[in-house]
Structure 1
């Protein structure tokens, strides 16, 4: 989901014919809100599975890191990006934001952590 939305849907929607910045931002807000809800639910499911099972550090460490990263995105970065997009939607002409670059970097780290978590989980099983 992270790869599809953050690295495909998000940048490509602005290249679609007829998509304005206002429309793209509106779509992006809805899509990322849904992604974050799904991420939160899956994080809780994974945390319950780890709590019930006997998870090695190869699973626990990336899971905790993912939880911290998702919390930072939801509690710090997303509100800042939403305030900025509110200004753009109100007609302000703003330069690219550093928060957006930080969010993209966080998504890259998230993908690396998800791969690490998956490898750790598979190694624990096999």
Structure 2
């Protein structure tokens, strides 16, 4: 693909993602991690290109919903997230992400914006 012009590469990417969307949606949650990963990767690309809004934008509410399901299915240690600002319409109050610790360890707490929460869960740099 190194020899492809950028417009051809972007067209190929768009065709692939357009075809993947219905398959991911029909999987009943089993491929939500793939959807979240693709959303995070798009943030990586926006950040690499120096564009504003990496890990943010109109899809943030959907990404946070995917994160909620993925954290639960992967049995990640529970964090209660109070997401502020953009992307909050889906969450009117703090929401638990993940599952309670079997040892009774208290849940972690997060209070901040959605893009930072996505960065933390995806192990992306904060600066």
If the length of structure 2 is used for normalisation, what is the TM-score? 0.30
| Structure richer in helix, relative to its length | 1
More strand by percentage: 2
TM-score, normalized by length of structure 1? 0.30
